[in-house]
Amino acid sequence: MADKVLTANRLSDGISVWLDASGNWVESLQDAFVARHAEAVTALEATGKAAFADNKVVDVNVIDIEEVSGVLRPLRLRERVRAEGPTIDYAPGYKGLTGPVQAA
Amino acid sequence: MYRYDEFDHAFVADRVAQFRDQVTRRLSGELAEDAFKPLRLMNGVYLQLHAYMLRVAIPYGTLNSNQMRMLAHIARKYDRGYGHFTTRQNIQYNWPKLSETPDILADLASVEMHAIQTSGNCIRNVTADHFAGAAADEVADPRPYAEILRQWSSVHPEFSFLPRKFKIAVTGAERDRAAIQVHDIGLHLKKNDKGEIGFAVYVGGGQGRTPMIAKKIRDFLPEEDLLSYTTAIMRVYNLHGRRDNKYKARIKILVHETGAEELARQVEVEFAELKNTELKLPESDIQAITTYFALPPLAERPEGWANLAGWKKADPDFARWVQQNVQPHKHPDYGMVTVSLKPIGGIPGDASDSQMDAIADLAEEYAFDEIRISHEQNIILPHVALADLEALYRGLVSIGLATANAGLITDIIACPGLDYCALANARSIPLAQEISTRFGNPDRQAEIGELKIKISGCINACGHHHVGHIGLLGVEKKGAELYQITLGGSGDENTSIGEIIGRGFEPEKVTDAIETIVNTYLSLRKDASEIFLDAYRRVGPQPFKDALYGSNAQAAA
């Protein structure tokens, strides 16, 4: 079984989010809780249904990931783009999923 | 251009208030997603990969400077400083917050714009020739008829829940710049032997997973019958269009399965019932709407001819821009300007808030406050005096929008693709950027001549790849992107669907493949006047297949 994480889009602004170990929806895949066995996946799915029903998030999905050198990486390109943001420099001052790039 | 009357203002304001209430109830949890989703879609709010997306309607691609400034304001205030102009002459914002969409719609309403019917199984934004009202070859301006269709189809109770979405395009010239033969209904304005205005009516065109060229079911429909005949088509489709299978629900499938002749007969039966009802368009109504689209007061500006010759001689870059991006206007002292949204290596169709503001200023100063969006994702200033071209050009240079590539190989159409779109299987924009960069040299582009590349990131074909001279379709194969190449497509009056040339190419090999195709074309064309499409139609696919997949084949397995 591939490792899995729970992802969704936040209801209020649509931004992609992942579920962390504390049950919070966070904006970085790297902070996500990783389910490594069937029981954990079942728990993820239950959490996703509850969060959807609670109107916190929409488009809730369990996705396959792998961990490479401590970095979480979705197996599907679609989910990699979701996790990292557009692969293009789409507007000055913005990068990937983040808001304005912080000054160094 | 059309101005809202009191009814329009009240209608759009009511709709904003209604949506504000719906969003409030959604955010409070009173409305569940299943109930809310169709409501947000009816107001143009999608959910994409990274965020919501708002699609704003630009009726038949026509807007004024005030409206363009509002689009810039929305990009700046509610989004990330840019917008994406689409192949349906609309604009999309990629990062709006759901909680702020009612405010965005209220701002749009203040300049007589909205996002109604930019999604859903209804009649979508009616599109038209982007040179409407200005083109020298025009029989009549298609926009009044597009506006009549817009008013008739807005929240039409009978046609708000069709089997599938429905797209209508109108062109007013023999040269089809609105791709009417790949629309659900295509209307070609023409005159009959008596000099009366009417339409050739095409039905059942479309792209997507089953590309079809529309069939002409009426050679001449009098203008007074526009709404009754269109209603007849819609009724036949609404009754017989397939609702059992989403992929077979467009009218093109009905036309294909029924046969154009039988479908036309059914339409005529309905039309006979409707012809002399309240749907008949009084001449006075047509005239009243047409008045909104009157040509601006174009003063004689003959000095432009001499000025232009001198400016071109002094500045080769300006001369190249005029050559490529300025088309003859119906008034000899004026030109129709294409402001390319395809800077070399840039993102096709994207414009920043400051660029939109600047375009608004330039349109006000030099183009009678008229702006168009083309289905090829460029901005058009339809009425510019030749005498003002140089000043306009300097303004465009200063905002990075003076690329002299209209109709050339770097004037690429690309959908948002997997960088944004929840439906996409592969990215479109990075490919467009790489191809644009490879072929960006102005001399090389000029040598290649007219060549339309169109890229879609999935089979839904928003990037119009089926009608690209060279089309690229991104698919997902074994978890990776792969691109099919089609050749010989065209979306003009001689519409054709491109043919798949062979096995697909991995992303890093696509630009080389395009170069191989281009070099093959250059080696076999009769002379520089034979454009790629004509050469392809003359020689067929074999020389290109040989070049791509011969002994030095680079195609992916």
Q: Which domain holds residue A40?
A: 3-84
Parse chain B into domains and list their residue ranges: 6-109, 135-292, 303-398, 427-549
In chain B, the residue whose alpha carbon lies closest to the alpha carbon of A27 is B50
Interface of B with A in 391-420 (CB under 8 A): 418-420
Tally the domains of chain A.
1
pLDDT of residue B557: 42
Q: Which CATH class is domain B135-292?
A: alpha beta
Rounded CA separation A31/A46 (Å): 20
Q: What is the mean pLDDT of residues B309-321?
A: 98
Does some domain include residue A94? no
φ, ψ (nearest 5 deg) of residue B278:
-65, -10
ipTM: 0.94
Check whether B419 has a pLDDT greater than 70: yes
Rounded CA separation B91/B100 (Å): 17
Minimum-distance CB partner of A9 among B26, B47, B433: B47
Check whether B114 has a pLDDT greater than 70: yes
Check whether B192 has a pLDDT greater than 90: yes
Minimum-distance CB partner of B50 among A75, A93, A97: A97
Give the pLDDT band of residue A100 (cuts 50, 70, 90): low
Contacts of B419 in chain A (CB under 8 A): 81, 86-88, 90
pLDDT of residue A92: 78
What three-state secondary structure class fits A8?
strand
Q: Does A28 touch chain B (CB under 8 A)?
A: no
Q: A54 vs B47: CB contact, 8 Å cut-off?
A: no
Give the pLDDT band of residue A103 (cuts 50, 70, 90): very low
Does some domain include residue A77? yes
Does some domain include residue A104? no
Q: Which CATH architecture has domain B6-109?
A: Alpha-Beta Complex (3.90)
Q: B347 vs A88: CB contact, 8 Å cut-off?
A: yes
pLDDT of residue B479: 85
Q: Evaluate whether B242 touches B292 at the Cβ level (below 8 Å).
A: no
Does some domain include residue A101? no
pLDDT digits (tens, 9 = 90+) for B51-93: 999 999 999 999 999 999 999 999 999 999 999 999 999 999 9
Check whether B553 has a pLDDT greater than 90: no
Q: Evaluate whether B131 touches B209 at the Cβ level (below 8 Å).
A: no
pLDDT of residue B213: 98
Q: What is the mean pLDDT of residues B324-337?
A: 98
Q: Does A82 touch chain B (CB under 8 A)?
A: yes
Does some domain include residue A62? yes
Does some domain include residue A43? yes
Counting residues of chain A whose pLDDT is more than 90, the rounded percentage is 85
Contacts of A94 in chain B (CB under 8 A): 80-81
pLDDT of residue A98: 66
Q: What is the mean pLDDT of residues B249-275?
A: 98
Does some domain include residue A70? yes
Q: How many CB pairs under 8 A join A and B?
A: 85
Q: Evaluate whether B495 touches B181 at the Cβ level (below 8 Å).
A: yes
Q: Does A54 touch chain B (CB under 8 A)?
A: yes
Check whether B187 has a pLDDT greater than 50: yes
pLDDT of residue B241: 97
Instruction: Calculate Rg over the CA atoms of chain A.
Output: 14
In the CATH hierarchy, which fold is given to the domain comprising B303-398?
A: Sulfite Reductase Hemoprotein; domain 2 (3.90.480)
Rounded CA separation B469/B498 (Å): 7
pLDDT of residue B551: 57
Counting residues of chain B whose pLDDT is more than 90, the rounded percentage is 98
Listed in order, strand segments (DSSP E) in B134-251 are 168-171, 185-191, 197-203, 215-222
Q: Does A78 touch chain B (CB under 8 A)?
A: yes
Q: Evaluate whether B500 touches B418 at the Cβ level (below 8 Å).
A: no
Check whether B317 has a pLDDT greater than 50: yes
Whole-number average pLDDT of chain A: 91
- Tell me which of 3.40.30.10, 3.40.640.10, 3.90.79.10, 3.30.413.10 is the CATH number of domain B427-549: 3.30.413.10
Going by C-beta distance under 8 Å and a sequence separation of 6 or more, which residues neighbour residue A44?
Answer: A4, A5, A6, A19, A33, A35, A62
Check whether B171 has a pLDDT greater than 60: yes
Q: Does B81 touch chain A (CB under 8 A)?
A: yes
Q: Which of A28, A81, A82, A101 to mutate to test the interface with B (most CBs of B within 10 A)?
A: A81
pLDDT of residue B15: 97
Q: Do domains B6-109 and B427-549 have the same CATH topology?
A: no
pLDDT digits (tens, 9 = 90+) for A59-99: 999 999 999 999 999 999 999 999 999 999 998 777 777 66
pLDDT digits (tens, 9 = 90+) for B460-501: 999 999 999 999 999 999 889 999 999 999 999 999 999 999
Q: Does B35 touch chain A (CB under 8 A)?
A: no
Please give the model's pTM, rounded to 2 decimal places.
0.96
Q: Which of B26, B45, B52, B483 to mutate to test the interface with A (most CBs of A within 10 A)?
A: B52
Minimum-distance CB partner of B419 among A14, A81, A99: A81
Q: What is the DSSP-derived secondary structure letter of residue B385?
A: E
- Closest CA of chain A from B430, distance in Å: 7
